[in-house]
Each structure stands twice: as structure tokens, then as C-alpha cells.
Structure 1
Amino acid sequence: MHIQEWLESVPAIAVYLLVAGVIGLESLGIPLPGEIVLVSATLLAASQDHINPYVLGACAVAGAIVGDSLGYLIGRKGGKPLLDWLGRKFPKHFGPHHVATAEKAFTKWGMWAVFIGRFIALLRIFAGPLAGVLKMPYWKFLIANVLGGIAWAGGTVALIYTVGKVAEEWIGKFSYIGLAVAVLFGIGSFVVMRIKAKKAAEAAEQEPAESASVAAAD
């Protein structure tokens, strides 16, 4: 079977459920590649007409909001023992250093930590459970959760889908030149987003060290 025929045979509902499920589980606190799955599914939607980008975006947003809300409830009920258990199960994602960094961000930014956390891998996994552990009022969490889910999931789908459609048009007109330009544009946009997220995470990590240095000097 030709690759194009195989892609056309993939049921749209399977793509929607996969995206909603992976993003929901990631938002719940399980370290999964939600961003990669969302980007891949959006590129597939750009090349396959039977996958609706609006439905895909809605599923991604729903998965993000529901997953974060469940994570909040689990964190609210489980508290610190939950973070300790996650630290033992996923030390690369929930180690003491990661928890301290995330708590610092929540203490400083509050609702903004939930919203901005959507765009930062570390906080995207921590946002729901940690907000519950720290007893953030649910109405505040829900507002930031909904707005962050729409901005991140909806924005990602809109950006990647546009890049994918432009790539298809350029491929038809300019063959490999168009493909190269489209790919470079897409990679450039992704790299810029990742650099900004990394700088924000590094800034949050440096603050505890700076505070400790000042305290030691005093």
C-alpha cells in the first residue's frame, strides 16, 4: 500500500482520541510527549482532508483542560505523598530539584504559572497536581487552566497547520525548494518557541540559588 493511501486510511476518530488521550495523561502528571503528538497530528491534518483541524484543536484543548483538572483533584487529595511517589517513579521529571523549581514558580506567579506552564515542558506536567498540592483556589486554577489550554493547544494547531498547508502549496509549485523553505520555517518557529521556554525555566531555576547565596552572605 502506498504511504498516501495508508495515511488516508487512518480513521480521524483514532487521531482525535490519541491526541486527547496523550495530552490529557501528560496534563494529569504522567510524562508523555504531548507536544510531539499534537504537532505530528496537526501535520497529518494539513495533508489529509478527512482530519478536521478544528475538531483536532478542540480535542487537544479538551484533553489539556480535563487532564489538568484531574491532576489538580489528585494533588489536592494526595498532597506531598503524591509528589514523593512521583519522584520515585519518574526521578528525571519529578526529582526534588524539579519540585523545588516548580514550587518556586507557583509561589511567584500564581495563576500565571498554570497559564505559562502550558508552554514549558516541566510546568506542563506539574501544573495540575502541584496546584492541588499547594491548595490553589479551584476557580483561579480553572480560569488559568482553560485559557492556557486554549492558547497552547489552539495556538499550536493553528501555527503548525498553517505551516503544513503552506508546505503543501510550495511543494506543488517549487518542488524541493518549496519543501526546504517550508521545513526550515517550521523548524525555526519551533526552535524559537523552545528557546523562550528554556530561558523561562532557567530563570526560575536560578532564583532559588541566588536567594540562597544572599542568605549565606547575610
Structure 2
Amino acid sequence: MDHWLTTIPPMAVYLIAGLAVGIESLGVPIPGETILVAAAILSSRHEVAISPHGIAIAAILGAVIGDTIGYTIGRRYGQRLFGYLERRFPHHFSRDLVDYAEHVFQRWGMLAVFVGRFIALLRIFAGPLSGSLKMHYPRFLLANASGAICWAGGTTYLVYYVGKAAEEYLKSFSYVGLGLAVVIGLLGSTVLRRKLERNVKVFAAQRAEAEAEQATRQTAE
């Protein structure tokens, strides 16, 4: 295993990490965060010449560029884009989720773009939805870049240092430690995703209730 690790070209790891994060940020539901964590774990191994700085920079650039492309597409195609994504990726997109994300972005603006970077289900919406809502691009870029730096850089270095600690203190059990690093790196986003799913259900129920009340009033009139 250690010999195989030494054959991995560092540039290939940087490109894969950057592309995965960029494609996810574009609005395509691939496991960008999982790939980023895996790349950060590789950088923590002393056998390889993969730099965590290179991974962080690649992931940050991928996030900013991907979100910017998604913003441009969303600004041009608007709701037609979400209709296509809902048909193309029915397990990742739903009308309720799109409506909830739109509600959040309309209410919180730049803050939603920044915080959404840390939540998988909102991360894929940030660019396209901000463009669809015609958010001022300089404001979007500021929130997008700052969120990318905190999320991509923070995830990379957190997993890197946990991996280094595991290799140092667990010695022969370092792979167990690296597995622990994956759990730590993904735990926060998993908790946030579950909370988001609950919020979407509550939002959908409240919207349905409001629509029913409105229909009742119109019928009474």
C-alpha cells in the first residue's frame, strides 16, 4: 500500500480535487467534499509528496470558478435550470428543496451563499440560485470566495492535521486513525444536511398550510 501511494502524481490529486469541487459547485450533485477529504488524507501521509497547500488552493479555485459558472448559467436560464436538474437528478433535487433554498437565499443573501458552502445540499444551489435571483455579482463573488476559503481550506487543513496526528500517535494503526479523520471531516456536514432536510419538510408543510388557507378564503369570498 505504501509503495502504491508513492506512485500517485501530486498534480493529478490537485486536479481531481479541484475539478470535483468545481463540478459540485456548478450544480452537479457529485461527492466533491468526500473527494476533498480523501485528497487531504493522502497529503497527511509522509510517503507521498502531495501538499495540503496545493489541495487547498485547487479546491478553493474549483469552488470559486464552479460557483461563478453556475451563477452565470442560473442568471441566464433561471427556473428552467432547476426544472431540468429536478428531472435529471430526482434523488438530489425536489421542488420543495428548490423552493426552500430560494426562500433562504432571498432572505439571507450573501450570508446564505457563505453558510451554504458548508452544507452539501445548499452548496450545489449557491451559484445557480444566486444567478437566478439576480444577486449583484460583486456581492456574490465576495461571499463565494470567502466561503470557499473557509470551507475548502478549513476542511483540508483539519483533515491533514488529524491525519498527521493519527500517523504520529497510532503508528501501526494509522489507517484506523485516517478513517477517523474521514469521520471527523464529514461529521459536521452530515449533521447540517440532516438539519436542512428537516427544515425543508417543515417549510413545505407550512407552505401547503398557507396555500390551503388562502384557497379557503378565496372560496369563501
Distance 2:157 2:8 in 1: 22
Distance 2:31 2:202 in 1: 26
Alpha carbons 1:117, 1:124 under 8 Å: kept: yes
Q: Give the drift of 1:106.
A: 1.0
Establish whether residue 81 from structure 1 lines up as the match of residue 80 from structure 2: yes
Distance 1:193 1:77, change over 3 A: closer
Distance 1:27 1:121 in 2: 10
Give the match for residue 218 of structure 2: none
Alpha carbons 1:68, 1:129 under 8 Å: kept: yes
Distance 1:196 1:89, change over 3 A: closer
Give the match for residue 210 of structure 1: 206
Aligned partner letter, 1:209: A
SS at match of 2:6: helix
Q: Give the drift of 1:95.
A: 2.2
Distance 2:41 2:127 in 1: 28
Distance 2:24 2:175 in 1: 32
**Structure 1 stretches of 5 or more lacking a match?**
none
Distance 2:10 2:144 in 1: 26
Write out aligned runs for 1:1-218 (5 A).
3-47=1-45, 48-172=47-171, 175-176=172-173, 183-184=179-180, 187-188=183-184, 190-213=186-209, 216=212
Distance 1:74 1:179, change over 3 A: closer
TM-score by length of 1: 0.88
Distance 2:156 2:23 in 1: 19
SS at match of 2:49: coil
Q: Which 4+ stretches in 1 moved above 6 angstroms?
A: none
Q: Give the drift of 1:17.
A: 0.3
> Which region of structure 1 is more displaced relative to structure 2, 32-41 or 204-213?
204-213
Q: Give the drift of 1:92.
A: 1.6
SS at match of 1:30: coil
Q: How many residues align?
A: 213
Sequence identity of aligned pairs in percent? Answer: 44
Distance 1:107 1:209, change over 3 A: farther
Distance 1:163 1:82 in 2: 39
Post-superposition Cα deviations, 1:153-212, rounded to whole Å, max 9, x if no partner, equal: 01100110011000100122xx44x76567547535632442134224423542342354
Post-superposition Cα deviations, 1:94-124, rounded to whole Å, max 9, x if no partner, equal: 2212211211211222111111111111111
Q: What is the CA RMSD across the aligned residues, in angstroms?
A: 2.1
